[in-house]
Amino acid sequence: MAKGTVAYKILQSHLVSGRLVPGEEIAIKIDQTLTQDATGTMAYLQFEAMGVDRVKTELSVSYIDHNMLQTDFKNPDDHKYLMSVAKRYGIWLSKPGNGICHQVHLERFAKPGKTLLGSDSHTPTAGGMGMIAIGAGGLDVASAMAGEPFYMKMPKIVGVKLTGKLPEWVTAKDIILELLRRLSVKGGVGKIFEYFGEGIKELSVPERATITNMGAELGATTSIFPSDEITRAYLRAQGREEDWIELLPDPDAEYDEVIEINLSELEPLIACPHSPDNVLPVREVEGIKVD
């Protein structure tokens, strides 16, 4: 068991049933939910069928950001339905044009130490803020809005130790591409990736969120960074410093596995067709014509 890790602490504080032993079924309390219009319509139809008067979460947000085309009646009808559901059940609504759900949620609603369940595979973006943020099916999200816990098998917690500093022209995306190069698109199945080490001090919250967003490409349950002074500065810039709490791994935290990446040794990387794990150094594809 990866006791003392950030992920373990959040899961422990939200545990409803089960033991935090990899492979065993657990149920956790969900604080926030997120939907987008491509998946939200079905999720809210399922929620309405449950006969609940209002959402039971601390916060639920319905984003209209995916299906923007208005070439016939289908998308507008969905959007009108989503607006009516939000008003009826106490759900925040992000209207078309406000921005992509993951970025807006990171800026306006994500909170360190909380849990988020979203009907989108890239919900783990909010892990850059120190949340346990998991992508799930619409029925799971509907159940969470009705106050039910989320059931899953306890993942392994993999520590990704970052050391060194990013060289010039190397970005946060190269960090997650390096993991994809090493592990493949199936290398994260049944795992939470928790980033730690001196190297995380080099990364802003948006850079951290870039990494946790693409953890989905690893097949990971989610990815997470600690909540530190960098997190605090980001929340201060967003005008909500009161949402900050410090959430760090214990000095003697134990991970189920540890992967080390020396940032100083990275170079610009690129994912080639037709898979995110088909990663090569940019220098090796220089000169290839792109049609």
pLDDT tens digit sequence for 241-276: 999 999 999 999 999 999 999 999 999 999 999 999
Sequential DSSP letters for 162-174? EES-PPTT--HHH
| Six token digits for residue 86 | 């939000």
pLDDT tens digit sequence for 15-52: 999 999 999 999 999 999 999 999 999 999 999 999 99
pLDDT tens digit sequence for 166-218: 999 999 999 999 999 999 999 999 999 999 999 999 999 999 999 999 999 99
| pLDDT at 151 exceeding the cut of 90 | yes
Return the domain boundaries, the chain: 6-276
What would the CATH number be for the domain defined by 6-276?
Answer: 3.30.499.10
The full length of the chain comes to: 291
Q: With a threshold of 0.95, does the pTM exceed it?
A: yes
Sequential DSSP letters for 100-117? -HHHHHHHHT--TT-EEE
| Confidence at residue 1, expressed as pLDDT on a 0 to 100 scale | 66
What are the C-alpha distances in Å from 14 to residues 19, 27, 116, 147, 278? 12, 8, 11, 13, 37
